Amino acid sequence: MIFGRFHSWLRPGTKLPTIPAGRRVYAIGDIHGRLDLLQELLAGIQVHAEREAGLHNGLVFLGDYIDRGPNSKGVIDLLLELSWPGWDVIFLKGNHDQTFLEFLGDANVYRAWRNFGAPETLLSYGVRPPMFDNDAAFAKAHSALVDACPRSHIDFLERLENFHIEGDYVFVHAGIRPGIPLDRQRPDDLLWIRDDFLLSSRQFEKVVVHGHTPTEGPVRRKNRIGIDTGAHATGCLTAAVLMGEHCVFLGTGHSPDGSVGVMSERPQHHRKLGAF
């Protein structure tokens, strides 16, 4: 089902946000260890892009590659091998990715990390999660992960960017702090912010394309586009496709045969699926 474009969300005479002419950008939401859905969505994006060739394509990942789902290691392996000639590929950092790096530097970070996906990530690297809530158990898991995690994975996570700009859009994991210029945003806000950003009606410098807060379907408002659809739990991994003044969404499980198809956005008063 193809839904309305930005026209229905903006006042008459308001300038529509645009991507530069000849450019098309695919932004992918939170993957969270779902290698199967990532493979499916990437294949669907390639099919979609081939229907209108001759454009300069970009692929922006909004972060949170790991945790929750069963194959965090496999997701990073795939992304490291991803090579699409002629495409610009940008990888952004999510709060889960940052927490993984923090655990590699401090075993006691596990006490917080275990509540949002650490056990599944450790298992994907062949590491047994701590059985007990004590420093020794955390240190044992830390040591095992340091040995099991390829240096290329650490390098990948350390190189992730905090935000990316294309035309009238800024792509970021969680959102931005209202009232603060983009070049003065705090990294913690870009990775973690929720309600102060989500509930703001302020018109930002750019329309913000973000993940981080899962909802039943993609959300489009005048100042932001949210595309975290809780892939690890729902089986729906979402991409926003931006070209010129137009935006559509692609998602896994949204065609008659259950594969990648065009999605409908959620209304403005959407229901969150929970904090991830």
Q: How many domains does the chain have?
A: 1
Which pLDDT belongs to residue 2? Answer: 29
Q: Residue 28 falls within a domain, yes or no?
A: yes
Q: Residue 72 falls within a domain, yes or no?
A: yes
d(CA 40, CA 126): 25
Q: Average pLDDT of each block of 10 consecutive residues along the chain (276 residues)?
A: 38 80 98 98 97 95 98 98 97 98 98 97 98 96 98 98 98 98 97 98 97 97 97 97 97 70 53 47
Cα dihedral 198, 200, 205, 211 in deg (nearest 10): 0
Q: Residue 182 falls within a domain, yes or no?
A: yes
Which pLDDT belongs to residue 253? Answer: 80
> Are β-strands 261-262 and 163-166 bridged in parallel, bridged antiparallel, or unpaired?
unpaired
Q: What CATH number does residue 176 fall under?
A: 3.60.21.10
d(CA 237, CA 192): 20
Q: Residue 34 falls within a domain, yes or no?
A: yes
Q: Residue 123 falls within a domain, yes or no?
A: no
pTM: predicted TM-score of the whole model, two decimal places: 0.91
CB within 8 Å of 69: residues ≥ 6 apart? 31, 32, 33, 34, 35, 75, 120, 231, 232
Tokens of 40: 């499916």
Q: Residue 39 falls within a domain, yes or no?
A: yes
Determine the structural domain holding residue 174 and report its residue range.
6-94+160-262
Q: Residue 180 falls within a domain, yes or no?
A: yes
